[in-house]
Amino acid sequence: MKRNYQIVIFILLFVFACSKKKTSEELSSPQDSLPVYLALANDLNLKYELKQENAKKAFSIVINQQNDSINRVNLFKVANRYYNMSDFKSYHDVSELLLERSLKAKDSVSIAKAYSYLGDYYTYKMVSDSAYRNYFKAQKIYTQINDDLNLAKILISKATLQFNEGAFFESEIAVFKALEILNHEKNVNDKLYDCYNLLGILYHEKEEFNKALEYQSKALATLNDKSIPIDLQLKATSLNNIGFVYINKNDYQKAISYFERGLREKNLFKEKTYLYAMLLDNLAYAKFKAGNMKGLPDDFYRSLKIRDSLGLKTATISNKIRLSEYYAFKKDTAKAIQLAKQALIVSRSSEKINNTLGALKQIAIVDHKNASLYSKEYIRLNDKMLKAERNMGEKFSRIEYETNEIKDQNSNLQEKNKTLVYVFSICTLLGLFFYVYKTQQARNRELLFKQQQQIANEDIYNLMISQQNEIELTRIKEKKKVAQELHDGVLGRMFGIRISLDSLDKLDEAEAASKRKKYLNELKNVEQDIREISHDLNREKSELINNFVSILNKLFEDQRNTYSSKLITTFDPEIKWDLISNIEKINLYRIVQEGLQNCNKYAKADIIKVQFQKKGNNLVLTIEDDGIGFNTSKTKNGIGLHNIEYRAKECKGTVTIKSAKGEGTILIIKIPIDPNNNLHNDL
């Protein structure tokens, strides 16, 4: 039922554009061929072929003219002629040429006008995103140059496009912006009509029928202005739209009265045949709904015949759906199904999903056997249409977001504002000075930082040497202890057992067997003592190899004694610490120290895990906590993290930080192990 109403808005856009294009030009002189060709190309009494020929002649003259303001005005006139004769390909080509020449000349007014022409072209071709992009570019320029009247026109075109794509809210905003401008302008009743009429249709779609009638009545009131061309038949259009609102309010008698008034408009059939057919169809439908069958179904068929002859596919679909509804009421099911199927077949070949939805809805009502199949298709297409409308609304928003701000094209204005250039130059010099100053400061801080790092490295190295000395002294003591135990304990006992075994030869067999068993037990005890000494020696070797681990364990012990969080440490036994250089050990120690400090100060963690692993030819240090975490993309690295990254870089390693608010933090340091490295050759 909404199709006839929606057709009106597309037609209105077409009428609006046409009225804009049909500007009359005065012939400058009879001898001037260009005005003659332009006038003939716009002569409604000439055949299409003759108008085309004159338009081409006019274009051949203009294309060779110098690119100045007069040339661009003439090009716009040629484009108008092509638009009026519906040669949209030529209209597009001339509009593109106009845009190119206007950009070259930096003529803001012509650039905006060329964009608006291209917007009209893509609107006619139903390429909505391209149409919207061009309208938006024109809007930006008209806003910059304070051309309010043309800005209002563009807003109306944009609003109409948004309405046709189902972006009702955005369309409503654009219309009210246009109205706000037009209320301060004079002699703009034709534009006020477009705004009020579009608002009436918008509120009708939103089923706010009283508001729809209010704005349609305002639109009708603007037509009292005698300057608005009567041949546009805008009064008949408004009467049709008001009648259609009353149909949806179920006030069929009022609807009939408005449709009849519309049909009585002078020269309607001649000047706007499609509108006459629409009013006739709506009148027939209002009569049918009111139970007045006079003139039915003849009025439906008259309307259908006119629309079919004009090639109005969408309108013929609407006609057949209504005829199907009429025959269903008359209990002629076969005829109702036939007409509904015809409407469905035609609608499937059209580009508008709405057409198919209307046909599916009607055929599901009259064809009960296949109703479920049609209903499923209706639901699928309806979902598809809603998604397409939503995507188009989002696309319009993206176009506005992605469209670059148009630069000022007026060179004269730039000349008058040279002061801005001077200010910019001074600001640039100040900025450069500030940059050099900050860069020098950063270099000084980096140098100081390196000096402090060197001092800290020396302290840690001395600590490690001191620790190694202590371990060496302990090792010597352990060696002496083992030697003493071997000499005083094990060797003495073995000597005693040997002497005792020698004396067994002098004893009889029974007594010797008993003694032998005793001496074997003694040998087992000696064997156990030797095993314990061996284990002690192995532990000593491990301590010698892992003296760096001992230093770390001392750090971990201090951590556990000082802080309440639980510390879990793991050392991979596959790590060969003698392949890790002292510089790398120093940096690893400092990284662990810094990592624990960060956990203690910021993380508020209950559990901290420190893990050393060997993965391939890499030593991987992982410091993990279950604390509050932080947003790595927003949080700027502090001094602590900067130090960690610096130390890892010194070891030719990498740093990876994984964290999120409320999910803890994982710090991963990966350092390559050089198999040819030697601890003693490093420092």
Distance CA 411, CA 612 (A): 67
Q: How much is the pLDDT for 443?
A: 80
Distance CA 81, CA 63 (A): 15
> The domain that contains 657 carries what CATH number?
3.30.565.10
Coil vs helix vs strand at 188: coil
Q: Model confidence over 175-208: pLDDT tens digits?
A: 899 999 988 888 888 888 999 999 999 888 888 9
Has residue 471 been placed in a domain? yes
Q: What is the DSSP string of 618-681?
A: EEEEEEEE-S----TTTSPP-HHHHHHHHHHHHTT-EEEEEE-TTS-EEEEEEEE--TT--GGG
Q: Which two tokens stand for residue 504?
A: 């067994």
Q: Are residues 539 and 555 in the same domain?
A: no
Q: Which of 545, 579, 601 is the last residue of a domain?
A: 545
Q: Are residues 516 and 584 in the same domain?
A: no
Q: Are residues 498 and 555 in the same domain?
A: no
Q: Are residues 582 and 503 in the same domain?
A: no
Q: Which two tokens stand for residue 676?
A: 């040819």
Residues 654 and 648 sit within 8 Å (Cβ to Cβ): yes
Do the bridges between strand 566-571 and strand 654-659 make them parallel or antiparallel, or are there none, so unpaired? Answer: unpaired
Q: Which two tokens stand for residue 341?
A: 């199927």
Q: How many independent structural domains does the chain possess?
A: 2
Q: Are residues 555 and 514 in the same domain?
A: no
Q: Are residues 513 and 486 in the same domain?
A: yes
Spatial CA neighbour of 556 closest among 582, 598, 589: 589
Has residue 625 been placed in a domain? yes
Amino acid at 132: Y
Distance CA 603, CA 605 (A): 5
Residue stretches of the chain with pLDDT short of 70: 1-32, 351, 385-418, 450-451, 453-454, 456-493, 495-496, 498-510, 513, 519, 529, 532-546, 635-639, 676-683
Q: Which of 508, 524, 545 is the last residue of a domain?
A: 545
Q: Are residues 522 and 567 in the same domain?
A: no
Q: How much is the pLDDT for 17?
A: 42
Q: How much is the pLDDT for 414?
A: 55
* pTM, to two decimals: 0.53
Distance CA 164, CA 166 (A): 6
Residues 366 and 326 sit within 8 Å (Cβ to Cβ): no
Q: Which of 499, 518, 545 is the last residue of a domain?
A: 545
In order of 28, 96, 99, the CA distances from 68 in angstroms are 18, 16, 13
Location of structure tokens 């000696």: 526
Has residue 528 been placed in a domain? yes
The secondary structure of residue 579, as a DSSP letter, is: G
Q: Which two tokens stand for residue 662?
A: 């409320």
What's the CA dihedral at 550, 551, 555, 560 to 10 degrees? 10
Phi, psi for 69 (deg, rounded to 5): -60, -40
Has residue 536 been placed in a domain? yes
Which residue segment(s) compose the domain that 672 sits in? Answer: 551-681
The stretches of 546-632 forming alpha helices (DSSP H) are 547-562, 582-598
Q: How much is the pLDDT for 472?
A: 62
Distance CA 110, CA 465 (A): 83
Has residue 604 been placed in a domain? yes
Q: Are residues 488 and 559 in the same domain?
A: no
Q: Model confidence over 205-231: pLDDT tens digits?
A: 888 999 999 999 998 888 887 778 887
Q: Are residues 487 and 473 in the same domain?
A: yes
Has residue 86 been placed in a domain? no
Q: Are residues 572 and 674 in the same domain?
A: yes
Q: Are residues 575 and 674 in the same domain?
A: yes
Has residue 635 been placed in a domain? yes
Has residue 577 been placed in a domain? yes
Q: Are residues 540 and 453 in the same domain?
A: yes
Cis before 297? omega within 30 = yes
Q: How much is the pLDDT for 363?
A: 82
